[in-house]
Amino acid sequence: LFCILFIAATGSEFNREQPVFSYGVAGRIIVIDAGHGGLDQGATRGSYAEHDIALQIAKKLEYYLSRGGAAVIMVRDNESDLAGDEFTGTIREHKKTDMKQRVTIANQAKAHLYISIHLNAVPGSAWSGAQVFYKPGDEESKMTARTIQEELTRVLGNTNRKAAAGDYYVLKNVDMPAVLVETGFLSNPREAELLADEEYQRRLAHAIFSGAAAAAVRSGESPAADQ
């Protein structure tokens, strides 16, 4: 099977999107994990909260991947986290339970790829740009992160950051190749506005989708590639 999938998006800002080989994701099980949720809002700026925007981007990514033929598992599809609203332990215990549940969901799914979606924040407002982190010591994760980073750079045109190994619990504990996408800095006023914008979210999601598909083609491990 050698077919080409092009998912058209609205708006002139999408002109940089290119055809994507559908067999890159077709038949793959991909876990999308929108960061934070529940008691943990993540980074905030004014009315913007990381857990909300991350979920919005994750749902758009789910759409593109599903259209490409992937079996997508959403770790969370609402405002709650994975520890549950009835959890009675400390905040630290709550977070630990939440993180373990995310890893369990991914591992039980026996997924081909795990993608975590986050927004960055630092003191001050100077920093900006999306960046992809990968599971340390895993070459396929590294290649996937670099490929997604290339697409983010090409499609968004506003980041010169490079993919890097990430010291994150979820990346180090899932059994499959894994990447964590920091989609931009909520601490940057201009980028915060972009991250909350529906069209910009679609561009982000499509770039992640394109990068994941291209990486699967490069690795030659897409299930549909053998058909």
pLDDT in tens, 35-62: 888 778 889 899 999 999 999 999 999 9
* Distance, CA of 143 to chain centre: 15
Q: Is the pLDDT of residue 113 over 90?
A: yes
**Selection from 177, 188, 183 nearest residue 222 by Cα:** 177
Structure-model confidence comparison of residues 219 and 16, the more confident one: 219
Mean pLDDT of the chain, nearest integer:
87
**Which residues, in sequence order, are bridge partners of residue 201?**
none
Residues 144 and 215: their CA atoms lie apart, in Å, by 5
- pLDDT band per the 50, 70, 90 thresholds, residue 24: confident
Range 148-167 average pLDDT: 96
**Which residues, in sequence order, are bridge partners of residue 71?**
29
Q: What is the pLDDT of residue 183?
A: 98
**Residue whose tokens read 């690795």:** 219
Q: What is the pLDDT of residue 202?
A: 97
Domains and CATH numbers, the chain: 29-226 (3.40.630.40)
Residues 159 and 71: their CA atoms lie apart, in Å, by 30
Q: What is the pLDDT of residue 219?
A: 81
Q: Is the pLDDT of residue 146 over 80?
A: yes
Q: Could you give the count of Cα atoms lying within 13 Å of 30 in the half-sphere of its Cβ?
A: 32
Q: At what angle do helices 198-219 and 139-156 cross, to 10 degrees?
A: 140
Residues 133 and 182: their CA atoms lie apart, in Å, by 8
Q: Is the pLDDT of residue 5 over 60?
A: no
Least reliable range by pLDDT among 20-34, 67-81, 163-177, 201-215? 20-34
Range 141-164 average pLDDT: 97
In eight-state DSSP terms, residue 79 is: S
